[in-house]
């Protein structure tokens, strides 16, 4: 039986590059976001996780569904998958690495070697859509 880690992710694009984050003690970058808490909607979880991780406020009325991506979860045993439900949204505030986040960076198609598998799938899709280069 396949185990799925269900996560929400915020696609923030600037200058045709995707914002990614790296946690303390980790090597790979991933798309900011996280897991839902009990009874939270996608939007509620996304807003909470982004505020916790990078200190900005997602503007609720701008949240727009993008796509869902699945990949082998990094550092987990074979068959443990991560499912990313991705959303675009505008924000208020300055992006600041907070809590477990050690570093924020903008990446493009050439930076896939520093990203998690699910992030790579997302980068490939964003590139195919002409959103990042």
Q: Per-residue pLDDT tens for 32-53?
A: 999 999 999 999 999 999 999 9
Residue 85's pLDDT is what? 98
Query: Average pLDDT, stretch 60-74?
Result: 96
User: Measured between alpha carbons, how far is residue 125 from residues 15, 20, 63, 80, 129 in Å?
Assistant: 17, 15, 19, 22, 6
Residue 91's pLDDT is what? 98
Per CATH, the number for 3-128 is 3.90.79.10
Quote the mean pLDDT of the chain: 95
* Backbone torsions φ then ψ of 121, nearest 5 degrees: -60, -40
Global pTM? 0.95
The domain limits of the chain are: 3-128
């Amino acid at each position: 039986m396949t185990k799925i880690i269900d996560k929400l992710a915020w696609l923030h694009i600037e200058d045709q590059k995707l914002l990614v984050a790296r946690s303390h003690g980790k090597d790979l970058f991933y798309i900011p976001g996280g897991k839902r808490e009990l009874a939270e909607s996608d939007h509620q979880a996304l807003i909470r996780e982004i505020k916790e991780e990078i200190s900005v406020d997602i503007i609720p009325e701008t949240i727009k569904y993008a796509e869902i991506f699945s990949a082998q979860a990094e550092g987990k045993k074979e068959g443990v998958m991560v499912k990313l439900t991705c959303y675009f949204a505008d924000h208020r505030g300055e992006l600041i690495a907070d809590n477990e986040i050690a570093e924020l960076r903008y990446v493009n198609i050439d930076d896939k070697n520093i990203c998690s598998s699910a992030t790579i799938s997302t980068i490939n899709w964003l590139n195919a859509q002409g959103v990042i280069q």
